[in-house]
Amino acid sequence: MAEIRLIDVREEILAENRQEAGDIRAVLKRHGVFMLNLMSSPGSGKTSLILRTIRALKHAFRIAVIEGDIDAMVDAEKVVREGIPAVQIRTGGACHLDAPMIAAALKELDLAALDCIIIENVGNLVCPAEFDTGAARRAVILSVPEGDDKPLKYPLIFSVSDLLVINKIDYLEGSDFDADALTTRVLRLNPGIRILPLSCRTGDGVSEWISWLREEIENFRRS
Amino acid sequence: MHELAVTESLLQVVLRHAGEGGAGKVVSVSVRVGELSDLVNEWMQRYFDYLSRGTIAEGAFIRIERIPATFRCGGCGDVFPADPRTREAIRCPLCASGEMTLVTGRECFVQQIEVM
C-alpha cells in the first residue's frame, strides 16, 4: 500500500484572484484610472451615493460604473440616465464580484477615456470582503437602521476597508444607534480607516465624501 | 455562499500541488482560516466533495484550523489575543491602551496536503 506523505503548500487559497487583482491594478495605474470598490448590505444606499457622486463629479472627472447584481439591470439603468457609462455584471447567483469578473467588465470600457471607475459590489457584508477586485480603494457603507453592532458580526469587511460611510444619519434621532460604540468597534479592527457620517437623502455630510473621493482620484493620478 | 468560490480556488491549489508532487490521491487538506472570516467548515467540505468528483482529490478530508484574532497594542507593542466580536471594550492587558492593530485573524491559506 502506498504511503501517505505530506506536501507543504503554504499558499493563499485566493492567490489566483489576488494575482488577477494585481494585474488589474497595474493596467489601471498605466491608464491613470482610479477604481473604488463600494460595498454594503442591500438597501444601505450604494446606488444613491453613486448617483450623488456622479452628479457632483461628472464635470470634473470622466466616471464609469461597474454594477454587480445577482440578477437585475435597474441600477445600471439609473446610472446610464445620468449620462455615465455603466457595465452590468449579472453574477447569476454569486454573492460577490471577484477579479476575473472585473477584468471582463473592464474590457467593455474605454480606459483611455476614464479617470474613475466605481464598482457597486453585490449587496452583502460577507463575501465581497474576501475578494480583492483590483480597486485602489475600498469603501463600505453602513446605514443607521442596520445597527451599530455590524462590525461585531461582520468584522472582516470593516478590517479591509479604507473608508466607512455611515449613511442615513437623518434616522439617528430617536434611534438607539450608538455612533461612538460603532467607531470604537471599527477602529480596533482597522485604526487607519476614515469614518464619514452622511445622509444621501438630506445631503448632510455628502460634501465630505465628495472631497475624500476627489482627493483620492487626484492623488492617484499624480502618483 | 462564497464558500463555493473559495472552495473552487482551494481545489485548484490542491490539485496543482498534488500534481507537482506526483501524487496519485489526496487524502486530506489542511487549511488555516482566520477567525474574522465567515467561511463555514461544513459547507467547504460539501462543496469540496462536489467539486472534486472525478479528480485525485475526491474524498479528501478538509481539516480547517481557525486562527484566533490577535492585536498589537498601539501603546506598548504587546501582541495579545482578543475576541473581535465582543461588545466590551478591548484593552491591552499590559498597559490598558485602547489603540490597537489587528495582527492575525484574516488568514485564508492552504497549509499542507496529505497525499498517497
What is the ipTM metric for this complex?
0.87
Residue of A nearest to B21 (CA): A7
Say if the Cβ atoms of B13 and A9 lie within 8 Å: yes
The CATH code of the domain that includes A150 is 3.40.50.300
A2 is a domain residue: no
> Which of B10, B69, B87 is closest, CB to CB, to A152?
B87
Round the average pLDDT of chain A to a whole number and report it: 94
**Torsions phi, psi for A82 (to 5 deg):** -85, 0
Residue A204 is given by DSSP the state T
pTM of structure: 0.92
pLDDT attached to residue B28:
97
Check CB contact of A92 with chain B, cutoff 8 Å.
Answer: no
Query: How many H helices and E strands in chain A?
Result: 8, 8
* Alpha carbon distance A195, A179 (integer Å): 10
Q: What is the mean pLDDT of residues B26-33?
A: 96
Q: Note the pLDDT tens digit of each residue in B32-45.
A: 999 998 888 899 99
State yes or no: pLDDT of A38 exceeds 90.
yes
Q: Is residue A123 part of a domain?
A: yes
Q: What is the pLDDT of residue A72?
A: 66
From chain B, the residues in CB contact with A15 under 8 A are 9, 13
pLDDT of residue A183 exceeding 90: yes
Residue of B nearest to A18 (CA): B9
pLDDT at A212 over 80: yes
Domain boundaries, position A44:
16-222
Q: Is residue A201 part of a domain?
A: yes
Cell triple for B12 = 485548484
Residue A31 is predicted with a pLDDT of: 97
Whether CATH 3.30.2320.50 fits B3-68+105-115: yes
**Residue type present at position B23:** A
Residue A9 lies in a domain: no
* N residues, chain B: 116
Burial of A222 (0-12, 13-18, 19+ CB in 10 A): exposed
Between chains, do B109 and A152 touch, taking CB under 8 Å as contact? Answer: no
Q: What are phi and psi of B103, to 5 degrees?
A: -105, -55
Q: Which of B5, B31, B90 sits opposite A188 (nearest CB)?
A: B90
**How close B42 gets to chain A, by Cα (Å)?**
17
In a domain, A4, yes or no: no
> Residue B83 — very low, low, confident or very high, per pLDDT cuts 50/70/90?
very high
Q: Is residue A6 one of the residues assigned to a domain? A: no
Q: Which residue has the cell 477584468?
A: A103
Cβ pair B9:A3 closer than 8 A = no
Number of Cβ atoms within 10 Å of the Cβ of A184: 15
**Interface size, chain A vs chain B, as Cβ–Cβ contacts under 8 Å:** 119
Nearest partner of B112 among B66, B65, B68, judged by Cα? B65
Assign residue A97 a region (left: φ > 0; alpha: ψ between -120 and 50; beta: otherwise): beta
Alpha carbon of B14: minimum distance to chain A alpha carbons (Å): 8
More confident residue, A79 or A2: A79
The per-residue pLDDT for A221 is: 93
* Res A49: pLDDT: 96
Q: What is the pLDDT of residues A69-121, one digit of tens each?
A: 766 677 788 888 989 999 998 777 778 899 999 999 999 999 999 999 999 99
How many angstroms separate the CA atoms of A193 and A190, rounded?
A: 6
User: Chain A partners of B74 at a C-beta cutoff of 8 Å?
Assistant: 191
Distance of CA A152 to the CA centre of its chain: 20
CA nearest A120: which of A84, A76, A158? Answer: A76
Q: Do A16 and B27 touch (CB under 8 A)?
A: no
pLDDT at B1 over 90: no
For B14, name the nearest residue in chain A, comparing CA atoms only.
A9
CB contact under 8 A, B85 and A152: yes
Residue A5 lies in a domain: no
Beta-bridge partners for B90: none
* Assigned domain for A11 exists: no
Residue A2 has pLDDT above 80, yes or no: no
Task: Tell me the per-residue pLDDT of A138-166, one tens digit each, with 9 for 90 and over.
Answer: 999 999 999 999 999 999 999 999 999 99
- Closest chain B C-alpha to A223 CA, distance in angstroms: 27
pLDDT at A1: 58
Overall number of domains in chain A = 1
Domain boundaries, chain B: 3-68+105-115
Q: What is the pLDDT of residue B8?
A: 93
Q: What is residue A13's predicted lDDT score, i.e. its pLDDT? A: 93
| Closest CB to B110 among A11, A16, A152 | A11
DSSP code of residue A198: -
In chain A, the residue whose alpha carbon lies closest to the alpha carbon of B20 is: A7
